[in-house]
Amino acid sequence: MDMLSTCGFMSGEIILQPMIAEASLKTRKEQVGFHTKVPRNVNLEKLRNGYLFPEISRHELQHIEKYPNAKLISLGVGDTTKPIPQIIASHMANYAFGLSTDIGYKGYGPEQGNKALRKAIAEVFYKNELVKDTEVFISDGAQCDITRLQLLLGSNVTIAVQDPSFPAYIDSSVIIGQAGHFEDNAKKYQSIEYMNCGPQNNFFPDLSTTSRADVIFFCSPNNPTGHAATRKQLEELVEFARDNGSIIVFDSAYATYIKDDRPRSIFEIPGAREVAIEVSSFSKFAGFTGIRLGWTVVPEELLYSNGFPVIHDFNRIVCTSFNGASSIAQAGGLACLSFEGFAAVQSVLDYYMENAKILVETFASLGLKAYGGRNAPYIWVHFPGSKSWEVFSKILEKAHIITVPGSGFGPGGEEYIRVSAFGHRDAILEASRRLKILFS
Amino acid sequence: MDMLSTCGFMSGEIILQPMIAEASLKTRKEQVGFHTKVPRNVNLEKLRNGYLFPEISRHELQHIEKYPNAKLISLGVGDTTKPIPQIIASHMANYAFGLSTDIGYKGYGPEQGNKALRKAIAEVFYKNELVKDTEVFISDGAQCDITRLQLLLGSNVTIAVQDPSFPAYIDSSVIIGQAGHFEDNAKKYQSIEYMNCGPQNNFFPDLSTTSRADVIFFCSPNNPTGHAATRKQLEELVEFARDNGSIIVFDSAYATYIKDDRPRSIFEIPGAREVAIEVSSFSKFAGFTGIRLGWTVVPEELLYSNGFPVIHDFNRIVCTSFNGASSIAQAGGLACLSFEGFAAVQSVLDYYMENAKILVETFASLGLKAYGGRNAPYIWVHFPGSKSWEVFSKILEKAHIITVPGSGFGPGGEEYIRVSAFGHRDAILEASRRLKILFS
């Protein structure tokens, strides 16, 4: 179990069905006695079968059986737990109820999203300077747009990813056919450039030894390491992309967690509009994980090698493969960006960041190296010389706490675990207490 | 303007941005002075540039300029206009408001959809006999799942489509790389099998002359022709798929409009579970066009040529490329499938079907051959010897009514226009009056 799939990864409810064990396939085929002549997609054959979270779920279920009275704490899945501020929920409720009235009913909206929301995003997140509203495409979440971006780019491009990284970049790359074969020893796909990011390089790749790729996926603040790239680092990245004629796909899903003056958008870096796309999300910003709302910015200046604007093709993909985010979710998004809504959301972010602070201090007090947690809701804890699955098991067994083994995010995550700050305060304090007992 | 794109097609609000005229590209490039070295996706280059609805929108805008006082009636875009029954909207409103409470807040749901909704769909639409709840994957709409199905199938399969047909099948096929080149004379993509469906064959292809394809997209009741396939036709289709080892992707988005005993699901046909996938939607069933909710059924018995279950790969696609439909939309879907909700939705369907009846009778009274409208909300009107764009223009010019030219749905749609019954009654009656004056 080395590769982390996104499947089940984001689910509060863990679904083991319809996962069918490979062993049962032959039996099934014999029973059914019929199969089509349609070949299985070779790209899907290349995906590693491992699913991290069903695996974690199995550990969890076994644990509950073994310790039925233990109070299990989850610091695993990065799922929000705090209610949505009432001002935002009321707005969605009013919008939803309005759909039952002649005046409030609306059918299809524009695939690109409601104009008012696109304008609000350009204004609030980009100060109407960095990005135009017509360059903002509303989505049902960053993860969904990552696949739409892969559809846009197609199979004839090469990609680079941070290692460790959020697994959707690699999985979607494999599905579209860019990745080549998985090399079991290296635990890497042949055609993907893995840019190792760890404490030794301040979580920023050594670009002098990085091969050119057409597309560079870059997440800041990073999931899982919690590192928010500095301005200097992002300047280097943009320069690298410009020198190589690459496109950066910048994932800023956690940007609102940045507390200091690090860039919250790649478009704060001069020259980025000609080499970058930005995907972002309301999920972690406003607790919209289940409501599904995000956006992608494609600047007009971003051109393919033949001079054709990328925005033109992305618009076509959005129109063909998507039909707009739910109108109710979009109404909620607009409420988040009102003056009062934004302030209310900020107080939830502060709550999670106080959790993060407690966890960072906990690990520090134990002499463990913990990264992130200052500008991001994830803490990335180093256990030198240990396998991350073994650390995971130890913490589960001894402290009844679920974490995420770092190797699930790629080979660069070995020896680490990821700890999420998206919990209730009581659970965080209790987790801190138990961790102190376990590791002191 | 021969190919219909889905872009703008489903939008109440017509977006011309960020459509950039080809003519301006060179200027733009010179201004910017920088382009990446990333090649444009060759599949996207193959897409026809034409967008039907911006084109129609231009006609509409010109018309409004020319006749500022004309009361324009839209029977064009297939967008719902009636409010959602209060029992359903209230349920969504309550759910949305509940997200602001500790007890009501929920984060990520399962990517495959909430168990309760999957169960309700299996029960209400498939009587718990034809389909299991674990085979139902909740989506944000049929159009979105069509692309996810193409991602599943990949570029190395061949497809067949009805001609005319809903353009998303072909457009998504081009994007994934299955379609080959567009042949300007035939107005067809080289590698796609176009199955002509018209009154001469009771809107069902002559399968004895149809080439084998790996995947057959089949929509019933059909958009745009309004024809609901008979049981005998679907039995033939399933037999054809079994003989050829093909997979049918059956689009039943309009199935709840069927009034007689024609099949509402491909799974009513014996043997279909081994050769069919079904995509469906709450959009036209419950006015959820803007709310975004649908589902796809992948039976366990459906196997690739190597015996591997398709459901296994589809689950992986859903988990990697999607993160579940909006939880609020899913709450609404569940309310639609309650006893009271279902009855309330049915009364809206009856309203649209009464509209359809008025339109069918109107065309009949004029001696025009009109198809559909009995088990579907679309009427497909034949104007022998006329170009569909010319008919469109005449109706707009003389009667101030927007329709859809049939050639937008493929070469088989030439000489036809599609008329939608999703309007308010007053508008339908007024349209009927004007059409009678125009064509009598």
Q: pLDDT, tens digit, for every residue of B169-216?
A: 999 999 999 999 999 999 999 999 999 999 999 999 999 999 999 999
B43 and A317 Cβ atoms separated by less than 8 Å:
no
Q: What are phi and psi of B113, to 5 degrees?
A: 110, 165
Q: Do B308 and A40 touch (CB under 8 A)?
A: yes
CA dist., res. A47 & res. A2, Å (int) = 12
Under 8 Å CB pairs connecting chains A and B tally to 423
Is pTM beyond 0.80? Reply is yes
Half-sphere exposure of A328 (CA within 13 A, CB side): 38
pLDDT, chain A, mean: 91
Q: What is the pLDDT of residue A51?
A: 59
Which pairing describes strands B215-219 and B247-251: parallel, antiparallel, or unpaired?
Answer: parallel
CA dist., res. A77 & res. A420, Å (int) = 7
Name the residue type at position A226.
G
Chain B residues with CB under 8 Å of A179 CB are none
Q: What is the pLDDT of residue B49?
A: 59
Residue A437 per-residue DSSP state: H
Half-sphere exposure of A270 (CA within 13 A, CB side): 0
Task: Examine the pLDDT at A21 and tell me if it is beyond 50.
Answer: no
Pick the more confident residue, A373 or A52: A373
Task: Examine the pLDDT at A23 and tell me if it is beyond 70.
Answer: no
Measured distance between the N- and C-terminal CA atoms of chain A, rounded to whole angstroms: 30
* Highest averaged pLDDT of the listed ranges A66-80, A172-186, B42-56: A172-186
Chain B residues with CB under 8 Å of A23 CB are none
CA dist., res. A8 & res. A384, Å (int) = 28
User: What are the structure tokens assigned to B329, written together?
Assistant: 């939309």
Q: How do residues A396-440 score in pLDDT, each as one tens digit? A: 999 999 999 999 999 999 999 999 999 999 999 999 999 999 998
Q: What is the dihedral of CA A393, A398, A400, A403, to 10 degrees?
A: -40
Q: What are phi and psi of A176, to 5 degrees?
A: -85, -15
Q: What are phi and psi of B120, to 5 degrees?
A: -65, -40
Of B297, B279, B286, nearest to B329 by C-alpha is B286
Q: Do A175 and B320 touch (CB under 8 A)?
A: yes
Contact residues for A93 (Cβ-Cβ < 8 A; gap 6+): B93, B94, B96, B97
- CA of B157: how far to CAs of A300, B163, B169, B214, in Å? 34, 19, 14, 6
Mean pLDDT computed over B228-234 = 98
Contact residues for B68 (Cβ-Cβ < 8 A; gap 6+): none
* Confidence at B59, pLDDT banded by 50, 70, 90: confident
Closest alpha carbon within chain B to A78 = B108
- CA of B301: how far to CAs of A82, B313, B412, in Å? 41, 13, 34
Chain A residues with CB under 8 Å of B35 CB are 245, 274, 303-307
CA dist., res. A238 & res. A248, Å (int) = 8
Q: Which segments within B69-197 are labelled E, that is strand?
A: 73-74, 136-139, 159-163, 182-183, 188-189, 193-196
Contact residues for A407 (Cβ-Cβ < 8 A; gap 6+): A2, A387, A388, A389, A413, A414, A416
Half-sphere exposure of B78 (CA within 13 A, CB side): 21
Mutation target to probe the A interface, by most A beta carbons within 10 A, among B38, B82, B144, B283 is B38
Closest alpha carbon within chain B to A310 = B40
- CA of A430: how far to CAs of A69, A83, B202, in Å? 16, 21, 70
* Confidence at B14, pLDDT banded by 50, 70, 90: very low
From the list B11, B29, B214, the residue facing A111 with the nearest CB is B11
The angle formed by the CA atoms of residues A323, B331 and B350, to the nearest 5 degrees, is: 75
The angle formed by the CA atoms of residues A146, B143 and B197, to the nearest 5 degrees, is: 140
* Confidence at A62, pLDDT banded by 50, 70, 90: very high
Q: Do A320 and B94 touch (CB under 8 A)?
A: no
Q: Calculate how close chain B gets to A196, using CA atoms only, in Å.
A: 23
Q: How do residues A125-138 score in pLDDT, each as one tens digit? A: 999 899 999 999 99
Task: Examine the pLDDT at B366 and tell me if it is beyond 70.
Answer: yes
Task: Examine the pLDDT at A325 and tell me if it is beyond 70.
Answer: yes
Mean pLDDT computed over B383-402 = 96
Q: Which of A8-22, A149-163, A345-359, B107-121 has the lowest mean pLDDT?
A: A8-22
CA dist., res. B111 & res. B314, Å (int) = 12
Handedness of CA A161, A166, A169, A174 (dihedral sign): positive
* Confidence at A28, pLDDT banded by 50, 70, 90: very low
Q: What is the pLDDT of residue B53?
A: 66
Q: What is the pLDDT of residue A141?
A: 97
Mutation target to probe the A interface, by most A beta carbons within 10 A, among B100, B215, B293, B301 is B100
Mean pLDDT computed over B224-230 = 98
Task: Examine the pLDDT at B50 and tell me if it is beyond 90.
Answer: no
Chain B residues with CB under 8 Å of A247 CB are 36, 38
Q: Is ipTM beyond 0.90?
A: yes
The single residue listed with the structure tokens 């279909």 is B272
Q: What is the pLDDT of residue B32?
A: 53
Mean pLDDT computed over B214-239 = 98
User: A153: helix, coil or strand?
Assistant: helix
Task: Examine the pLDDT at B36 and tell me if it is beyond 70.
Answer: yes
Mean pLDDT computed over A320-349 = 97
B390 and B274 Cβ atoms separated by less than 8 Å:
no
Which pairing describes strands B294-297 and B276-281: parallel, antiparallel, or unpaired?
Answer: antiparallel
Q: Do A42 and B154 touch (CB under 8 A)?
A: yes
Q: How do residues B250-294 score in pLDDT, each as one tens digit? A: 999 999 999 999 999 999 999 999 999 999 999 999 999 999 999
Mean pLDDT computed over B92-109 = 96
Q: Largest Cα–Cα distance of chain B, in whole Å?
A: 65
Of B403, B405, B389, nearest to B434 by C-alpha is B403
Task: Examine the pLDDT at B17 and tell me if it is beyond 90.
Answer: no
Query: What helix, strand, coil percent values describe chain A, rounded to 5?
Result: 45, 15, 45
Mutation target to probe the A interface, by most A beta carbons within 10 A, among B321, B334, B340, B420 is B321
Q: How do residues A262-311 score in pLDDT, each as one tens digit? A: 999 999 999 999 999 999 999 999 999 999 999 999 999 999 999 999 99
Mean pLDDT computed over A375-393 = 97
Q: Do A81 and B107 touch (CB under 8 A)?
A: yes
Chain B residues with CB under 8 Å of A39 CB are 156-157, 214, 304-306
Backbone dihedral region of B372: left (phi > 0), alpha (psi from -120 to 50 degrees) or beta?
left
Q: What is the pLDDT of residue A53?
A: 66
Q: What are phi and psi of A310, to 5 degrees?
A: -60, -35
A348 and A377 Cβ atoms separated by less than 8 Å:
no
Task: Examine the pLDDT at A319 and tell me if it is beyond 70.
Answer: yes
User: A55: helix, coil or strand?
Assistant: helix
Task: Examine the pLDDT at B132 and tell me if it is beyond 70.
Answer: yes
Q: What is the pLDDT of residue B6?
A: 38
Handedness of CA B152, B155, B161, B167 (dihedral sign): positive
User: What are the structure tokens assigned to B340, written together?
Assistant: 């009271």
Residues forming a β-bridge with A183: A188
The single residue listed with the structure tokens 């093709």 is A313
Backbone dihedral region of B258: left (phi > 0), alpha (psi from -120 to 50 degrees) or beta?
beta
Of A18, A90, A259, A148, nearest to B321 by C-alpha is A148
* Confidence at B15, pLDDT banded by 50, 70, 90: very low
Burial (CB < 10 A; 0-12, 13-18, 19+), residue A142, is buried
Closest alpha carbon within chain A to B293 = A326
Q: Calculate how close chain A gets to B252, using CA atoms only, in Å.
A: 18
A344, containing H or E segment: helix A339-365
